[in-house]
Structure 1
Amino acid sequence: MSAKPGSAERFEAAGSDVDDARELYREAYRIGGMTVEPTAAEFGYRFTSTGDDDLSLRASQVEGRITGASFTQGEYVVSWMTRGEGVSDLLGSPMKFLHGQPAMFANDRPAQFDLIDYRLNMMHFSGAYLEGVAGETEGSVGPIRFDTTFRPSGAGLHRWNASVAAVAGVVYDDDSPALLRAEARRAAAVSLLETFPHLALRPPTEVAVAASARTRTAVEYLVANAHLPIRTEDVAAAAGMSLRSLQSAFRREFDVTPADYLRAVRLDRVRDDLRDADPGRTTVGDVARRWGFGHLGRFAAGYSRRFGEYPSATLASSNTIGTRPRSLG
């Protein structure tokens, strides 16, 4: 716990019991299909976390081997290994941990990992907080998809390390005033956004609230009929608008055309279906065609731009950790 009111919240757990370690990491990282096993005569683990709801600094050290599939949602995690070996995102874009080089965890989808006799440092950012900073500094809206294969080097790595050291000095100091803590959190978020390539994704389309009643009617029609071969003219008629008014309203309120909006809804539906599918009995092509995507090459390109992974990776990772939350889109 914190040393005094207003200081960072602290948590620490350590021991040599395999079952305790398994329970700790399963709860902390929503890990499914997890195995924990010694690699030598003595097994040991230590886990620490210091920070608040917006930003926490964590460290995990294990004398042993841990495997499983984590599911990171509602937050963004950057990590760097200082000892041992490991690989993450085995079902997506495999990422081998390199000592001293930070990398982003996969977000909003399962990522299998394998870690051996390691020490891993991590920064956890609240999703709402980081997306808010991205909105202020970049004008982006909604979730962010990071390139999990990118590793900063040279001047970029030096700036990142300097930022981490400065932020850690503030977070770990219980005498740091609240304003300094807020500035440190923001500096860490800005540094992350400047260091790691990313794509800002619009929120799931159904939760984008239209200002006008007629535009909301158009959105509701699109969502309800996304499985049908509807035309833009059909949407305009359902909303009681002219085609030109409909186009203008979507450009003004969502900065996309009605056709682009419908395509985003269908991509969300494809993602939901792929996540729930049996990889041995379902193909990407079957699901894509079910939602009106006839050209699989263009579909795959659009899918990867929206979700940061190929549809085949989503299908391959389906049902790996049991029941997962469905997207809102």
Structure 2
Amino acid sequence: MASAVEGGTVPVLRTSFATRDADEARDFLDTAYGSSLRLSGLGGGASLRYERIDAGLFTVDRITLPGRLSFACEPLDAMIVNDVRAGQLEVDSAGSEERAGAGSLVLNPAGVPYTAQSNGCTINSASLAAGVVRDTAGIPIGGRTAPLRYAAAQVAPATPAAARLWRAAVDLAADQFGRDQALPALLVSNTARLLAAAALAAFPAQAAPDPAPADETDATPATVRRATAFIASHADRDVTLAEIADAACVTPRALQYAFRRHLGTTPLAHLRTVRLDAAHRELLAADPATATVTGIAMRWGFAHVGRFAAHYRAAYGTTPGTTLGLRT
């Protein structure tokens, strides 16, 4: 998957593909997943069908696999969650064999090879760049805490509610990114982290180590000053908790302690406040004949305009549209 750029926009591409030819299908899927895929069993006149939304940091796919197909995939630098909507999928990953029927979610962790057999499967699949998942889980740049570790493929989500949350997040991404377009990089990265958070809720990673004693002693006003200065100068970019902590020269946990102790909030909540203020100032200065609330909200990383409006009203006592000069 391509990486999102800082600031600016990211191209979102939609691809549709169908074939009855096994070699053509294998070549296409090799390119789509960036891996050497060994595919067998395609034939009998039925078509393999594939649709993909590619936003760089994540993809959302819908795949129809006719008949009984076998495939093997080399390790990828991405987490993949397959939502089996019809048929049956059998997965062998790191020596663990799992069988998933319709309604099952199957996790293929980053960096783990796997083989699978599908029998009349329709699958909604989403892949997430491994770095986004690590950042969302609070894994800092420089490896100050343990990386995420999954032993093998998993079929059972943590709870039914977590499975529903995952499907809702994928549906939101598919709806918002469902056509070729260029979207703000901040919106793309925030959606990627929403998907990563939903994936981690469905398939929790191994717990991070207990906080080091230094995390408490590093939670100082100086840490907050360094972090808030970094946030102020990077609010228009894709900023993660790990990057803020790295700029403040502390661990993410120490950064969270510092913000709670001295500001009574969290680093990412402070980042949202800074972005909300920037959107407010842009709304005040914008020309209502050419600007839109949706465009300004998305530019500052607010993917859901309704939630943006609620945050805005709570902060400023009015609606974004009123500030822009529009009738609501």
Aligned amino acid, residue 22 of structure 2: V
Alignment pair present for 1:82 and 2:85: yes
How far 1:67 sits from its partner (Å)?
Answer: 1.0
- Indicate how the Cα distance of structure 1 residues 136 and 169 shifts in structure 2: closer, same or farther if over 3 A, else same: farther
Quickly say closer, same or farther: Cα 1:7–1:26, change in 2 above 3 A. Answer: closer
For residues 184-243 of structure 1, the C-alpha deviation after alignment (integer angstroms, 9 at most, x for no partner) is: 2221111111221222689xxxxxxxxxxxxxxxxxxxxxxxxxxxxxxxxxxxxxxxxx
Q: Which runs of 5 or more residues in structure 2 are unaligned? A: 1-8, 210-249, 252-328
Give the alignment of 1:37-186 within 5 angstroms. Answer: 37-38=42-43, 41-89=44-92, 92-135=95-138, 140-145=145-150, 148-152=153-157, 153-172=159-178, 177-178=183-184, 179-186=186-193
Change (3 A) 1:44 1:6: same
Residues 13 and 54, structure 2, Cα contact 8 Å, conserved in 1: yes
1-structure distance, mates of 2:173, 2:22: 33
Could you say what the CA RMSD is over the residues aligned between the two structures, in angstroms?
3.1
**Aligned mates of 1:75, 1:193 — CA distance in 2:** 13
CA offset digits 1:2-44 (Å, max 9, x no partner): xxx7441222221222221132234444345531333xx4221
Amino acid in the other structure paired with 1:194: A
Which residues of structure 1 form unaligned runs of 5+?
A: 203-251, 254-329
Q: Would the aligned equivalents of 2:22 and 2:39 in 1 still touch at CA under 8 Å?
A: no
Contact 1:144 1:200 survives alignment (8 Å) = no
Alignment of 1:1-329 (within 5 A): 6-29=10-33, 30-31=35-36, 33-38=38-43, 41-89=44-92, 92-135=95-138, 140-145=145-150, 148-152=153-157, 153-172=159-178, 177-178=183-184, 179-199=186-206
Query: What's the offset of the Cα at 1:59?
Result: 1.8
- 1:150 deviates by 4.2
Q: 2:26·2:39 contact (CA, 8 Å) conserved in 1?
A: yes
Task: Supply the distance in 1 between the matched residues of 2:73 and 2:110 (Cα, whole angstroms).
Answer: 10
Give TM-score, length-normalised by structure 1: 0.52
Number of residue pairs the alignment of both structures matches: 197
TM (norm. structure 2) is 0.52
- Residue identity over aligned pairs, in percent, reads 19
The answer (yes or no) to whether the contact 2:10–2:182 under 8 Å persists in 1 is no
Deviating 4+ runs (over 6 angstroms):
none
